[in-house]
Chain A
């Protein structure tokens, strides 16, 4: 459904006189989402996960590589292709409050994509919006309300209604529950799961919350500093993480239970600057398993197997032989 091939998104940041600096937010990412699957993209701030979501919808310019949606090459966009893309793929953002125009009633917000892309008008439009609201679990009485009259969970449901108005095949969800309380988060997650099953949607689910991704996604990719370091079936990655960064990330999450598993010392240091990328493996400075002379100089290749991908010298043949 969605295919990224060696996708690159670089941003020019000029700092001080004449000095050109480039932020390599996404630096060679290859991903393939199957039709109807929920795919999780996890990573910490600055890993480039949100940039991938935006690049897939051309909300940020693509520097290099290839973007394909539904079998069509959309790396370069003309106006007709853009209009088509907006019907096929839609996005849901973290903060539903800032994603809704405070001066528009709910009916106007949800109707907007229908007005722009279809010929539905008048009473038919109203009933279609009411139907969409019903799909997301909101009654007709919300039609003429304003965003400030709604709770966070209700606003996110409105955003979902608007996103599915054109019956897209692909939904990109960028931290859709991060701004919500846990009891509301569980309602939205349950609903997203049902919606996916009912409409056969493909999800690219971007989140820093590992528990949420484990709950919703069949496959997952872990990002660090603009590259994917590990990819595989969610359960396999969570039960048996191979990349040292994935291991550290999973160990860092505190469990909501009385006894915490033995975690060892936390990962040291901060994520390095994407302007000044470390040589070799991007994780080597923080990696507890880094191999001197290898990880600090040689870029680890993608090691692909039937069960996924890992980008680490421990598996590349240059490492300790396994």
Chain B
């Protein structure tokens, strides 16, 4: 109820991507693994949303579900919608998804080497991608292979790869990790997508290279009017590129807030625990706090709040699942304690 009130109160432009009560499970020999359990979020055109969480929270599964990249079986959609520009990606079918991938939604990954074919040159792979995008276009507007090569050089220039003409003939092993990630970004953006999903794009890179790539993503976002969905475990990365942050825990979104709000007024005990657990590079710290315990088993998730077993504030009401509820403008949280009033959990 107040959730809907919040959404209409914001009254921004229609979201480009809207995930509604999405549920997904993996069928395993040990049982049904409930990886995603009823997550909802919106991404406005031009907005950059970060999804943060630890291993196994479901952030990468969410990204892959949007792209339709999870093989079924074992993955099984159990409900909800993933609306992209009003179209439900869970129901459009593989042929339509093929058109959407690359042309409307593109994705970059953690380890760029894994996503480049080691036996073909950068140029061949980039031109192949551009040619593949042509199939989604009307015949008259399709690009020839020569023009595609020119477009490839132009894309490499936009991602600031030095000597783009020469690099077309290079093999992936001849490039550094940062350069490979630039090539993958060029590939991802060559079809002029409106949404870029970045799954830990800088985790495998050194910090000085990470700074270059984050800078580049920011620049291209403005240049192409991109919406960005940034999947990461690094709160620093989120803080430097995202407008809004959703925190995931055990397959659920536990907090969703404007970036500054999340860092300055975290309300969910898990978010607070996470922020207190990270050592800060900019100031000395005497001690770090830890979150006791470990993730619940999603083959048999606990009833009620999934964080309750590790939460210092848990009470009897936490045996009922807390709905994600707006507590302030652009701030939603799924916690009974936090709903009692801002700062109630402090």
Contacts and interface: CB of A to CB of B under 8 A. Distances in A.
B239 A254 contact: yes
Contacts of A268: 212
A252 B235 CA distance: 14
A98 B278 CA distance: 25
Contacts of A253: 207, 236, 281-282
A182 B278 CA distance: 6
A268 B176 CA distance: 13
B264 interface: yes
Size class of the A contact interface (CB-based, 8 Å) = 35 or more
A211 B208 CA distance: 15
A268 B160 CA distance: 11
Contact of A208 (B206, B239, B294): B206
Given A212-B279, A214-B279, A256-B275, A183 B263 contact: no
Interface in B208-243: 208-212, 214-215, 233-240
| B contact patch SS | helix
A151 B294 contact: yes
A270 B176 contact: yes
A257 B277 contact: no
Contact of B207 (A189, A210, A270): A210
Contacts of A45: 177, 206
A3 interface: no
Contact of B55 (A181, A186, A258): A181
Interface residues of B, number: 46
A185 interface: yes
B290 A186 contact: yes
Contact of B274 (A153, A183, A267): A183
B78 interface: no
Nearest to B261: A258
Contact of B282 (A190, A261, A266): A261
Interface string B289-328: 1110010000000000000000000000000000000000
Contact of B239 (A185, A255, A266): A255
Max chain A CB contacts within 10 Å: which of B177, B209, B237?
Answer: B209
A294 interface: no
A183 B264 contact: no
B48 to A, nearest CB: 14
A166 interface: no
B284 interface: yes
Contacts of A271: 176, 206
Given A44-B207, A252-B207, A183 B281 contact: no
Nearest to B287: A190
A190 B285 CA distance: 12
B235 to A, nearest CB: 4
Nearest to A245: B208
A235 B209 CA distance: 24
A249 B208 contact: yes
Contacts of B208: 44, 248-249, 252, 266-267
A267 B208 CA distance: 6
Interface string A161-191: 0000000000000000000011101110110
Contact of A183 (B209, B277, B279): B277
Contact of A186 (B209, B212, B277): B277
Interface of B: 54-55, 176-179, 206-212, 214-215, 233-240, 259-264, 273-275, 277-282, 284-285, 287-291, 294
Given A252-B211, A254-B214, A254-B234, 20 more contacts: A44-B207, A181-B233, A182-B274, A183-B290, A183-B291, A185-B277, A208-B207, A210-B281, A215-B285, A250-B281, A253-B236, A253-B282, A254-B236, A255-B236, A256-B275, A258-B259, A258-B261, A258-B262, A265-B215, A266-B211
Q: Pick the 7 closest A-B CB pairs, nearest first.
A: A254-B236, A256-B235, A266-B211, A211-B281, A44-B206, A258-B260, A186-B277
Interface of A: 44-45, 151-153, 181-183, 185-187, 189-190, 208, 210-212, 214-215, 235, 238, 248-261, 263, 265-268, 270-271
